[in-house]
Amino acid sequence: MCERGLTLIELLITLSILSVLLLVATPRIGEQIEASRTRAAADQLLQAIQLTRNKAVTTNRRATLRKIGNWEAGWEIFYDRDFDGERDGDEPAIAIGNPIKGVEIKANGPLANYVSFVGTGESRTAGTLSGGALGMGSFTICSANGQGGYKLTLANTGRVRQQRISVEDC
């Protein structure tokens, strides 16, 4: 009679190999999760910028994307009727972005508090319906654990370019 199965020694060897593989793979899984979280945050902000520009162009009105507290805490998109870059009570929200955890978002220059688009699709600072200085600048979205990130660069035409950046650039 032939019996099939594993001996205790074979089972212990298999378990020890699996535990070594698990110890090697665990840090990489954490890095992948951080990289994925950072990429998702960059994509969410990029989509919010594109939606704001799209709303401005399709309605020929000034549309603004403004941070709520700080950029990680979320943002709101609205039609800026009085062209001041601030959402007032008579300016309903078009969309609201949820808070993002595990990343740091920094904006330079005119993008520190808001991004505003006029009906032609150009990014402009607050001012008049179609006026205001050009609203060019960039966002850096970095992992809170220092693993690099992404940079979103807003051109004067209103187009956004996304690129990967190193830990040193964060």
Three-state SS for 6? coil
d(CA 9, CA 102): 44
Average the pLDDT over 20-34 and give the result: 80
Is this model's pTM higher than 0.75 or not?
yes
Q: What is the DSSP letter of 151?
A: E
CA-CA-CA-CA torsion sign (142, 121, 98, 44)? negative
- CATH T-level fold of 32-165: minor pseudopilin epsh fold (3.55.40)
Among 10, 139, 3, 9, residue whose Cα is nearest residue 65: 139
Quote the percentage of the chain above a pLDDT of 70.
95
H-type alpha helices, the chain: 8-59
Q: What secondary structure does DSSP assign to 48-71, as a single string?
A: HHHHHHHHHHHHTS-EEEEEESEE
Other residues' Cβ atoms within 10 Å of the Cβ of residue 163? 11
Q: What is the pLDDT of residues 115-127, one digit of tens each?
A: 999 999 999 888 7
Length of the chain: 170
- Rounded mean pLDDT of the chain? 89
Q: What is the side-by-side order of every strand in the sheet holding 93-97?
A: 93-97, 70-79, 63-68, 114-117
CA pair distance 144, 153, nearest whole angstrom:
20
Q: What type of residue sits at position 124?
A: R
Percentage of residues in the chain having pLDDT higher than 90: 61
CA proximity to 51, closest of 104, 100, 110, 93:
93
